[in-house]
Amino acid sequence: MEKDRKEGIKGMANPGRYGIERVAYWLMRITGLGLLVYFIGHIYETSSLLDGKAAWNSMLELTQTTEGHIFLALVIGMCVFHTGNGIRLMIAEAGFGFGKARRPDYPYTPSSLNMKNKLCIYVSIGLAALAMMYGLGVMYDV
Amino acid sequence: MAAIFPVSSQEKHEKTKPSTKSITLRISKFNPGKDHATTFLEFPVSYEKWTTVLDAILEVKNYHDHSIGVRYSCRQAMCGSCGMIINGKPKLACFTKISELDSDVVTVEPMNNFPLIRDLVVGFERMFSTHKRIKPYIIREDSEISSGAKEFLQTPEDVEKYIQFSGCIKCGLCNSACPTMAVDSTFIGPQGLAQAYRYIADNRDQGKDERLRIIDERHGIWGCHFAGSCSQVCPKGVDPAMGIQLLRGYLLGYRK
Ligand code: SF4
Ligand code: FES
């Protein structure tokens, strides 16, 4: 009798063990899900227009609270990270940006985890943080 | 005859001195046919700077508990038998020195994303059958051994295109680290996909279309999200993540 050692969602989601690339993978998934939730909410929000101006205005007021501002700032951050990292992934997944395959020498440094890739991840995180700060600045009129 | 590496008297003394450093080795024990839950057995093990995790496990097996299930063969990172989770990460036990772990406690567990046979031993049947599925051999009409045919010559540049991927020892560490394998047991996995690239990139091979048809599905190449964990843990510098992305280039039309 054998027992399957499949790690499941817990293992998939654990971002801590395999470097920044795994963190980016995890953030990409989370932000993707977050944006999906936002998209559904956004459709619901804009559909209130059908009930007239008053309904639309009361819906907008929801975003003028502290929770609403935090939520919108998160949406901005998710959008920017997902876009930046998404562009990196589109380029990498088409096979670009790794250099050429070559005979590996010890200690092996994988080309797929090269500095260019890492830098793109850090830049995406940095841009997301900046955009969130800018968004909060606009929302709080700073 | 002169000694090539003369041994100083201090080194001689160090060699005979018993080690004063020791760690606690925690070994995962679970027999699916008998046990209900995993237990961890703890053993104090002394080590030298060259002692590997496999050496430590074998010391425990030889002198403390013969029942510990562990698989190994070459003891030099060649056969791919001794993959396990060492302090939370998939590594080869024979290729990991205790001194480089920098920890007083070393925990060894069986690899994730494989069926457990017993203790530290997992079953490789599924990985081997997936490996077989991608046709890991040169496919072409003629053959070097058929009469009249000559050797298929390759330039060093041709060899460079795939040699990196031919170093795979089928240890399964990449599959154990892969986040897609963690949730999808039908995923081909980084090991199989990297090997598909190895043969497609070989200019003696003519089986590209056949292999691309096999991997072009949700549980095939499109299941990879480029988390790169496979390449982080590969002990042979195969860089499966790179192979998979290069392979995708064929399906997206960037590569011929
Ligand atoms: S690609 Fe690397 S980690 Fe994966 S099975 Fe081959 S040698 Fe092991
Ligand atoms: S015993 Fe062969 S790879 Fe470790």
Considering only A25-29, A39-43, B140-144, which range has the smallest mean pLDDT? B140-144
Give the whole-number percent of chain B exceeding pLDDT 70. Answer: 92
CB A81 within 8 A of CB A27: yes
Q: What is the pLDDT of residue B11?
A: 57
CB proximity under 8 Å: B 73-112 to A: 88-89, 110-112
Indicate which CATH number applies to the domain containing A82.
1.20.1300.10
Q: pLDDT grade, residue B142 (50/70/90)?
A: confident
- Work out how many domains chain A is built from and give that number: 1
- Taking an 8 Å cut-off on Cβ atoms, the answer to whether B242 and A110 are in contact is yes
Among all bound ligands, the one having the nearest atom to the CA of B169 is 1
Which residue from A11, A12, A6 is spatially nearest to B116, judged by alpha carbons?
A: A6
Architecture of domain B125-136+157-251: Orthogonal Bundle (1.10)
Give the span between the Cα atoms of B3 and B9, in whole angstroms.
14
Interface residue of A31, A108, A114 to substitute, partner B, most B CBs within 10 Å: A108
The mean of the pLDDT values for chain A is: 93
B168 Cα to the center of ligand 1, angstroms = 5
Which residues neighbour B220 within 8 Å (Cβ) at sequence distance 6 or greater? B187, B188, B193, B214
Which residue from A123, A19, A139, A21 is spatially nearest to A71, judged by alpha carbons?
A: A139
> Has residue A1 got a pLDDT over 80?
no
Q: What is the pLDDT of residue A82?
A: 98
The CATH superfamily of B20-122 is Beta-grasp domain (3.10.20.30)
Residue in B with minimal Cα distance to A121? B227
Domain of A125, in residue numbers: 2-139
Give the span between the Cα atoms of A25 and A29, in whole angstroms.
6
Q: What is the pLDDT of residue B12?
A: 58
Q: What is the pLDDT of residue B2?
A: 42
Q: Where are the alpha helices (DSSP H) in A14-142?
A: 19-47, 53-61, 66-93, 115-139
Atom of ligand 2 nearest to the CA of B171: 3
B107: which 2 tokens?
């925990």
Among all bound ligands, the one having the nearest atom to the CA of B235 is 1
> Has residue A65 got a pLDDT over 50?
yes
Q: pLDDT grade, residue B9 (50/70/90)?
A: low
* Ligand 1 pocket mutation, candidates B169, B187, B188, B239, criterion most atoms within 8 A of CB: B169
A19: which 2 tokens?
């470097």
Q: Of residues B233 and B256, which shows the higher confidence score?
A: B233
- pTM for this entry: 0.91
What CA–CA distances, in Å, run from B32 to A109, B72, B122, B124? Answer: 38, 20, 11, 16
Q: What is the pLDDT of residue B18?
A: 66
Give the span between the Cα atoms of A87 and A92, in whole angstroms.
9
Ligand 1 residue neighbourhood (C-beta within 6 Å) = B 168-174, 190-191, 194, 234, 236, 238, 240
CATH 3.10.20.30 maps onto chain B at 20-122
CB A59 within 8 A of CB A45: yes
Chain mean position to CA B202: 22
Give the span between the Cα atoms of B168 and B191, in whole angstroms.
8
Q: pLDDT grade, residue B3 (50/70/90)?
A: very low
Chain B residues close to A15, C-beta within 8 Å: none
B112: which 2 tokens?
């994730």
Per-residue pLDDT averaged across B26-33, rounded? 95
Residue B92 beta carbon below 6 angstroms from any ligand 2 atom: yes
> Has residue B95 got a pLDDT over 80?
yes
Reported as a single tens digit per residue, the pLDDT across A113-136 is: 999 999 999 999 999 999 999 999
Q: pLDDT grade, residue B147 (50/70/90)?
A: low
Q: What is the pLDDT of residue A31?
A: 98
Q: pLDDT grade, residue B1 (50/70/90)?
A: very low
Q: Of residues A11 and B156, which shows the higher confidence score?
A: B156
Per-residue pLDDT averaged across A78-88, rounded? 98
Q: pLDDT grade, residue A12 (50/70/90)?
A: confident
Tokens 């670009």 -> residue: A96
Q: What is the pLDDT of residue B114?
A: 97
Instruction: Reduce the secondary structure of B208-239 to three states and give it as a string.
Output: HHHHHHHHCCCCCHHHCCCCCHHHHHCCCCCC
Q: Where are the alpha helices (DSSP H) in chain B?
A: 9-16, 53-63, 98-101, 125-133, 156-163, 173-177, 189-200, 208-215, 229-233, 240-252
Q: pLDDT grade, residue B149 (50/70/90)?
A: low
CB proximity under 8 Å: B 192-211 to A: 201
- Taking an 8 Å cut-off on Cβ atoms, the answer to whether A22 and B228 are in contact is yes
> Has residue B99 got a pLDDT over 70?
yes
Radius of gyration of chain B (CA): 22
Which residues neighbour B146 within 8 Å (Cβ) at sequence distance 6 or greater? none
Q: What is the pLDDT of residue B88?
A: 95
Q: pLDDT grade, residue B14 (50/70/90)?
A: low
ipTM attached to this prediction:
0.90
Give the span between the Cα atoms of B253 and B256, in whole angstroms.
7
> Has residue A4 got a pLDDT over 90?
no
Reported as a single tens digit per residue, the pLDDT across B112-124 is: 999 999 999 999 9
Atom of ligand 2 nearest to the CA of B73: 1
What CA–CA distances, in Å, run from B173 to A103, B37, B61, B240, B249? Answer: 20, 24, 23, 11, 25
Per-residue pLDDT averaged across B183-210, rounded? 96
- CA angle B95/B97/B100 to nearest 5° reads 125
Q: What is the pLDDT of residue B27?
A: 98
CB A83 within 8 A of CB A31: no
Chain B residues close to A12, C-beta within 8 Å: 179-180, 182-183
CATH 1.10.1060.10 maps onto chain B at 125-136+157-251
CB proximity under 8 Å: A 52-111 to B: 89, 92-96, 98, 100-106, 108-111
> Has residue B13 got a pLDDT over 90?
no
DSSP B167: G
What CA–CA distances, in Å, run from B36 to B119, B232, B255? Answer: 13, 33, 51
B201: which 2 tokens?
């990139």
Concatenated DSSP letters for B80-100? ---EEEETTEEEEGGG-BHHH
Give the whole-number percent of chain A exceeding pLDDT 70. Answer: 99
